[in-house]
Structure 1
Amino acid sequence: MSKAVSWPFLRLYMLTLLYFSANAILNVMIPLRGEALGASSTAIGLIMGAYMLTTMFFRPWAGYIIQKHGPVRVLRLILIVNGLALILYTFTGLGGYLVARILQGVSTAFFSMALQIGIIDALPEKERSQGISFYSLFTYIPGIIGPVLALGLWQAGGMNYFTVLMISIAIVTGCFGYSVKMEKSQETVAPNHPAQEANMFGSFAQLVKNPFLFKCSVLMLVSSIVFGAITAFIPLYAFQVKNSNAGIYLMIQAAVVVIARFTLRKKIPSDGKWHSSYIMGTLLLLASAAGCVSFSIKGGAVFFYAGAVQMGIAQAILYPMLTTYLSFVLPKSDRNVLIGLFIATADLGVSLGGVVMGPVADLTSYSFMYMICALLGAAMIFFVSDRQRRFSR
């Protein structure tokens, strides 16, 4: 049996599912609640984007601190912070939501880095892509039910049920996370050398200097802008599309991510080579998905849900493929911090999807904003093609 699906790793995946279950509900509830309170698309985008923007800033520090203190000790503290953030949603308004999103962002930076670094360090090279795919898969499983549940709570006016649900998720996740054990290799704590800390600061320059990190980070940043715009504004845009439902869209997208990551987990390259045609095909799906969502304002629900399917496939492939590739080509001495920087670009992109695309939607329309997202995805196809020509010279 593959080590990636052994019991210790299944416990980590189950913890991942519990941790991200609240977000699947909040991604729908926050935009709806914000609009009901009179917030503009810009304000809603800022609140939604604050989560990943905070995660981006703390991600590189998380890689260093986890390496210094070990993932288990950090994980237990972070689960307490996450629980406080979830409880904050239950009795505050927009201002409290912003604070809670920031606290969640800090928590997620450390949580995801602890689990992903542990998976990469503990698995054999040939199974890394499977481990990362499974981790990422379990972050999306809550998205199958969460959006529909959130819409049901909203339409029923059940804020009391929302309160009970958030508190329950906080308690169950904290208790389960406290009992999780990690393998010995995951808990190895690196010596605290001043040179190592200085090297962490110098690692930021590698985003530009290291050609492998640069190309993957640019691809992840732009793609994540599209992902973030979908997450932030689909709950509001769906009301403008005939016979469309945001909960069904997000459920389809999440289900496709889960199915694709499970069925394609062995197909994702885990050999340390750059597969440009594979990546270009994924980006084509991304651009087509955003284009379908944009055109659905005229074409209707068929294009709307077709966009969900294509977006799900693109999300299922792109992140684990690029992360696995970097785990091979980055220097081992700085790998944890540099992968943290790469993941931070994904966080920044998701944040910009709300923060930047919100004002675009206010000035134009959601349909026009999603067409811009489609053009960004198409531009990345040419970027990959150009980078491939440069690397082959």
Structure 2
Amino acid sequence: MKGALSWPFIRLYMLTLLYFSANSILNVIIPLQGEALGATNTTIGIIMGAYLLTTMVFRPWAGQVIQRYGPIRVLRIILIVNGLALLVYSFTGLGGYLFARVLQGVCTAFFSMALQLGIIDAMPDEDRSQGISMYSLCSYMPGIFGPLLAIGMWRTGEMHAFTLSMVAIAILTGVVGFTASIHRAPEEKVEAASRGNPAALMRQAMGQLVRNPHLRRCGTLMLTASLVFGAVTAFVPLYAPQINGGSAAVYLGIQAAVVVAARFLLRSRIPSDGKWSSRFVGGTMLMLVAASVAVGLAAAGGPALFYAGAVLMGTAQALLYPTLTTYLSFVLPKTERNVLIGLFIATADLGVSLGGIVMGPVADLASYSSMYLICAIIALLAASLALRGRMGGGNISGAKRGI
């Protein structure tokens, strides 16, 4: 096999699947263990949100370090640190969980940037989108089986199995990662991309979040949608027992399976012409609104409504990120495109973190159902932004010529 399905890249996809397997288990175990230890939803939300909040902060620095030292050298160091972070969960309480989540957040910032930048640099242009799609699919696939494993460990009380799973994942990712190879981009390309003062370049790029209408709109939509996704990840394990016949493992498994299937089956439906598709993006956001309403009303409406919400949520999650990323790849100036897309990804990280940190106190003050209905209102306001017509302040055809 050649291109995106050649053996060196398949090994990278396997590494991605193994790396994110730990987090798919922890997303269920941490809320359940936190509740068992008497933690409030606010505390649980902070612990869950600390992961991607840290990832967001370190992602720009990770890109610069990888540019300087190359993805493989950075990747091998990160896999060692991540293995130590996974071991922390086996012998500590909530304080240790927070420390481990922060450490994992740092590792994920470097891991995801190393893999994605490595794939972009190493693949021919015609295979690049397929390679990134395969990476994305493998990062979501653990969400299908991880929650089922976690619920099984928790219900049987076999927490030593949880410890063994963390150790096994740490060892396997290390073995696969240390035997992986990525061909680095030519040296002149790296030098050209790193000219200027990094701090000044980053401050300039941050200003684009406000000044650039394309980045501002896409960032706002991604931030809002990710807040809803984060609230689901953090609190569905605690909310599901309130639904007669509801299961967090089944919900999260359905949502992850839909994300994987939709990204593969609907990939040709995603707009790729550099034009703002208000109907497509707005429809996707309205799907997210419907998903939030379904989940919020499931306590009264039953498991069918709960699992319908999982299907809608997974479809919206599958479509929104690649649609907005593809659009930005057309309309952002070439000289700043990588940095600005990195900032866009950071808005997704921030949104997932806020889903735990901000919506945790809401759940404490009201209820899980009310919290998810509030998420629906926030998503509806964002949908109105998506449904507006062509954005002003930018020339798409000009941006295309700059690519």
How would you bin the TM-score normalised by the shorter chain?
Answer: over 0.9
Q: CA 1:68/1:195 → structure 2, altered by over 3 Å: closer, same or farther?
A: same
Give SS of 2:381's match. helix
Q: Deviations over 1:149-189 (max 9, x none)?
A: 10110111111111111011011101111111113438864
**How many residues end up aligned between the 2 structures?**
393
Gaps of 5+ in 2: 396-403
Does structure 2 retain, via aligned residues, the 8 Å contact 1:86–1:166? yes
Moved more, 269-278 or 230-239: 269-278
Percent identity between the aligned chains? 63
Give the structure-1-normalised TM-score.
0.95
Instruction: Report what 2:105 is aligned to.
Output: 105
Residue equivalent to 1:44: 44
* Aligned counterpart in structure 2 of residue 361 of structure 1, from 360, 363, 366: 363
Give the 3-state SS of the residue equivalent to 1:72 in structure 2: helix
Equivalent residue letter for 1:388 = R
1:340 corresponds in structure 2 to 342
- Aligned amino acid, residue 298 of structure 1: A
Q: Which residue of 2 aligns with 1:320?
A: 322
Correspondent of 2:267 among 262, 265, 268: 265
Output the amino acid matched with 1:353: G
Structure 1 residue 85, shift from structure 2 partner: 0.7
Whole-angstrom CA distance in 2 between matches of 1:15 and 1:252: 23
Deviation, 1:335, is 2.5
- Report the CA distance between 1:193 and its aligned residue: 4.1
CA RMSD of aligned residues (A): 2.0
2:372 to 370, 373, 377: 370
Of residues 85-94 and 260-269 in structure 1, the stretch that sits farther from structure 2 once superposed is 260-269
| CA deviation after TM superposition for structure 1 residue 288, in Å | 0.6
Other-structure match for 1:310: 312
Distance 1:9 1:64 in 2: 23
Moved more, 191-200 or 16-25: 191-200
- Cα distance in 1 for partners of 2:8, 2:257 equals 25
> Corresponding residue for 2:78?
78
Aligned mate of 1:224, from 211, 223, 226: 226
User: Counterpart in 1 of 2:177?
Assistant: 177
State the one-letter code of the partner of 2:360. G
User: Equivalent residue of 2:153, what SS?
Assistant: helix
Measured in 2, the distance between the counterparts of 1:372 and 1:2 equals 48
Rounded Cα–Cα distance in structure 2 between residues aligned with 1:200 and 1:216: 19
CA distance in 1, matches of 2:337, 2:359: 32
Residue 95 (structure 1) shift: 0.2
Q: Name the aligned partner's letter for residue 320 of structure 2.
A: L
Report the Cα distance in structure 1 between the residues aligned to 2:286 and 2:15, rounded to whole angstroms.
Answer: 33
Amino acid of the structure 2 residue aligned with 1:107: C
One-letter code aligned to 1:356: V
- Alignment match of 1:383 (pick from 382, 385, 390): 385
Q: 1:5 offset after TM fit, Å?
A: 3.0
Letter in 1 for 2:42: T
Secondary structure in 1 aligned to 2:197? helix
Cα separation, 1, equivalents of 2:30 and 2:211: 39
2:240–2:247 Cα contact (<8 Å) kept:
yes
Q: Which runs of 5+ in 1 are unaligned?
A: none
Asked if residue 155 in structure 1 is aligned to residue 155 in structure 2, the reply is: yes
Q: CA deviation at 1:113?
A: 1.3
Q: CA, structure 1 residues 257+153, in 2 after alignment: closer, same or farther (shift >3 Å)?
A: same
Shift of residue 219 of structure 1? 0.8
Indicate the residue corresponding to 1:130 in structure 2: 130
Q: How does 1:177-256 map to 2 (within 5 A)?
A: 177-185=177-185, 189-190=190-191, 193-256=195-258
1:286 to 285, 288, 299: 288
Deviations 1:255-295 (A, max 9, x none): 11111111122332333332222111111111111110001
Query: In the alignment, is the contact (CA less than 8 A) between 1:257 and 1:313 conserved in 2?
Result: yes
Q: Which moved more, 1:323-332 or 1:62-71?
A: 323-332
Q: For 1:387 and 1:379, locate their aligned partners in 2 and report how far apart those are by CA, in whole Å.
A: 15
Amino acid aligned to 2:226 = S
How far apart are the structure 1 equivalents of 2:78 and 2:237?
Answer: 29
Supply the AA of the counterpart residue of 2:27.
N
List per-residue Cα deviations over 1:297-316 (Å, max 9, x = no partner).
11100100000001111111
Residue of structure 1 in register with 2:96 after alignment: 96
Whichever residue aligns with residue 58 of structure 2, its letter is: F
* Letter of the structure 1 residue corresponding to residue 246 of structure 2: S
Q: Residue 2 of structure 1: CA displacement?
A: 7.4
3-state SS of paired residue (1:183)? coil
> What is the rounded CA distance, in whole Å, between the counterparts of 2:186 and 2:27 in structure 1?
31
Q: Distance in 2 between matches of 1:54 and 1:178?
A: 25
CA distance in 1, matches of 2:387, 2:8: 40
| 2:303 equivalent among 280, 295, 301 | 301
Q: In terms of mean alpha carbon deviation, does 214-223 or 198-207 score higher?
A: 198-207
Would the aligned equivalents of 1:64 and 1:336 in 2 still touch at CA under 8 Å? no
> Per the alignment, do residues 363 and 196 of structure 1 end up closer, same or farther by CA in structure 2, a change over 3 Å counting?
closer
Greater mean deviation of Cα atoms: 174-183 or 227-236: 174-183
Contact conserved, 2:55 with 2:106, CA < 8 A, in 1? yes
| SS of alignment partner, residue 185 of structure 1 | coil
